[in-house]
Amino acid sequence: MNTPQFHFESLTVYQRALQFAKKIYLVTQKWPIEHRYGITDQLRRASISIVLNIAEGSSRTRKDFQHFLIVSRGSSYECIPLLKMAVELKLLSENDEQLFYNDVQEMARMLSGLRSSLKLKS
């Protein structure tokens, strides 16, 4: 990757969220077509929303960025029931679901930490 041009590109949480969304897209490519406009689409949109809110929020005021980080964390939480449903529908193994769950937990912690650090700078 080239040298980051925008501040958000150097954020570890942004990089993790981007990789998470990529993994979600790759795993859902293998899911049956009948799930495309349901769980597949919703999980993809939730995962990409995490990274998009980090990027967009970084262009705003510190207070607005904090709000976008809350939205980003909410999108990460949205992935949890979708991943559990994917296991129930036999689209995802329990092992893979646990790996994604761990990713979500880590991103949520990082988003909260970044938000807290922005509050302290205010």
CATH fold of 7-121: de novo design (two linked rop proteins) (1.20.1440)
Provide the pLDDT confidence category of residue 122 given band limits of 50, 70 and 90.
low
Minimum mean pLDDT range among 2-6, 80-84, 94-98, 107-111: 2-6
Neighbours of 108 (CB within 10 A): 19
CB atoms within 10 A of CB 45: 15
Q: What's the pLDDT score for residue 40?
A: 98
Encode pLDDT of 28-79 as tens digits.
Answer: 999 999 999 999 999 999 999 999 999 999 999 999 999 999 999 999 999 9
* Six-digit token string for 67: 């709000």
Determine the pLDDT at residue 3.
73
**Shortest CA distance to 27 belongs to which of 75, 107, 95, 110?**
95
On the question of pLDDT at 1 being above 60, the answer is no
More confident residue, 36 or 4: 36
pLDDT averaged over the chain?
95
Q: What are phi and psi of 32, to 5 degrees?
A: -60, 150
Q: Is the pTM of this model over 0.75?
A: yes
Which runs of consecutive H residues, i.e. helices, occur in 9-61?
12-28, 41-57
Domain spans, the chain: 7-121
Q: How far is CA 105 from the centre of its chain?
A: 10
Burial of 91 (0-12, 13-18, 19+ CB in 10 A): buried
